[in-house]
Chains A and B, each alone.
Chain A
């Protein structure tokens, strides 16, 4: 990935569904956290599964470090309202997530969120 260092801008990584689907869970989490820890805003065309979200929280907590990394801000549209069927529950098949925005907690603040709109303020 191109690495452009700039002091007067915020880098946004738009990650396609295809790219994420080619990665294992921990690779996805690494991709996200590496980007966020560099100060980037990471936007996923298709978000993580609930299991991956849980791991992302756990890994994020383990990586929080004084004066270096205070964690992440993550927002995505709500999952589609559909009651999981019997097979879905039995086999743990997760419905796909929608677009997700992730950024460093000290640089991004969610201003508004509803099922159709996420507004965030990004600071340098």
Chain B
């Protein structure tokens, strides 16, 4: 860059305003959330179906919906037209019917957690799949690998333990009883007749019970894992009524301020995917507002071999197509970093050594851009989190501790975003 252009660029950065700032979120890939293929999900009509079947029927109903995952190992597509409705837990702990907006599938090889509760309900989820838990008198999200025996997780109070041939229901008030059992095959059976009535007439205390976790077993898993996106509330339940939730940092920021998400999070370590944008995210702080565009980028790599994708049950054609998408994603992320980003958030996992997780070349590139940089030390909800370790590794930058999953310290996160990028 020439001297004059450099000075003009620096001055314009100092005084620019009005246009949204584009904030790139970089960092090592992070595990996300998903359920094992045969986990049964509770639907609003009272039936339970394995999540892989729900995914397949969504795909059949929406055959032309494009794969927006941008990933070689994932498929994520819009499926609102399939009209799959599930009971979803709201922020005030009531249960309402909601339509699944996206279905997600991914190949995964690694550890899964079997979480079992006192009523013998169980679910097999990925390590970071969040549950809703009772904590210190409040309610929080906690991922599977942070749960402990005696953690109390949310479960629909009306969700039955093993389905019986005849169960009772009072959700619709049809029989005038106060029992909260449900009809064959599912919870809230009244909704079989009137799906939209799910939970809407019940108080929080009626809709949710808190069950203690009695065991957590780690299992090796090699197969497809699935997830559903439920707009607004971002929760759905297993067949036993256990409530699960999901989030990521970019998604949390987007959701907190726009009610929408940037995209699903990856499960495969070091996987590449297309960069994604969420534009015009308005963050209000101290009476003023800051408008930013969030650029959620893939992990940066220098190599992509389609043969690696063939190991994940793909045809060569599919593997080649996805590897091409992956290379385009990395190229895009590099191009945006040089040309089209006004600030950088570098997200690190505070539970692991920063020197083992950073891409030193990427850090060098970010450092050279003369952009405001914030370091986010994520996962402070975990016991082995060490913020100081990250502060020591990046003494020249401000480090903001947070838990994107739990929502811890997000006020400070937004204050710093407004301060650095506003």
Contacts and interface: CB of A to CB of B under 8 A. Distances in A.
A50 B364 contact: yes
B368 A50 contact: yes
Contact of B368 (A51, A70, A74): A51
Interface string A88-105: 011110100000000001
Contacts of B331: 57-58, 61-62
Contacts of A83: 396
Contact of A71 (B1, B305, B337): B305
Interface stretch (B111-119, B135-143, B296-304): B296-304
* Shortest beta-carbon contacts, A-B, top 7: A71-B303, A105-B303, A50-B368, A61-B331, A61-B327, A70-B305, A58-B334
Interface in B240-295: none
Contacts of A66: 306, 320, 323
Contacts of A73: 302-303
A88 to B, nearest CB: 9
B302 A74 contact: yes
B7 interface: yes
| B-side interface size class | 20 to 34
A51 B3 contact: no
A11 interface: no
B303 A94 contact: no
A64 B327 contact: yes
Contacts of B323: 64, 66
Contacts of B335: 58
Interface residues of A, number: 30
A58 B3 CA distance: 25
B309 to A, nearest CB: 11
Which of B300, B305, B368, B370 has the most C-beta atoms of chain A within 10 angstroms of its own C-beta?
B368
B365 interface: yes
Given A90-B6, A90-B10, A92-B6, A62 B302 contact: no
B181 to A, nearest CB: 56
A92 B302 contact: no
Contact of A54 (B10, B327, B328, B338): B338
B217 interface: no
Contacts of B327: 61-62, 64
Contacts of B334: 54-55, 57-58, 61
A61 B328 CA distance: 7
B304 A92 contact: no
Which of A54, A62, A83, A90 has the most C-beta atoms of chain B within 10 angstroms of its own C-beta?
A54
Contacts of B361: 50, 53, 57, 74, 76
A91 B303 contact: no
Interface of A: 49-51, 53-55, 57-58, 60-62, 64, 66, 70-74, 76, 78-79, 83-84, 89-92, 94, 105-106
Contacts of A62: 327, 331
A48 B336 CA distance: 19
A106 B307 CA distance: 11
Interface of B: 1, 3, 6-7, 10, 300-306, 320, 323, 327-328, 330-331, 334-335, 337-338, 360-361, 364-365, 367-370, 396
Contacts of B330: 57-58, 61
Contacts of B364: 50, 53, 79
A61 B305 CA distance: 11
B365 A50 contact: yes
Which of B6, B330, B337, B361 has the most C-beta atoms of chain A within 10 angstroms of its own C-beta?
B361
Nearest to B326: A61
Contacts of B369: 50
Contacts of A50: 361, 364-365, 367-369
A114 to B, nearest CB: 10
Nearest to A100: B361
Contact of B303 (A51, A54, A70, A89): A70
Contacts of B304: 61, 64, 70-71
Contact of B1 (A60, A61, A92, A105): A92
Contacts of A79: 364
A92 B368 contact: yes
Which of B305, B327, B364 has the most C-beta atoms of chain A within 10 angstroms of its own C-beta?
B364
A57 B302 contact: yes
A92 B364 CA distance: 13
Given A61-B328, A71-B301, A106-B305, 7 more contacts: A49-B368, A50-B367, A61-B330, A64-B327, A84-B367, A91-B6, A105-B305
B326 to A, nearest CB: 8
A58 B332 CA distance: 8
B308 to A, nearest CB: 9
Contact of B370 (A57, A60, A76, A90): A90
A57 B336 CA distance: 13
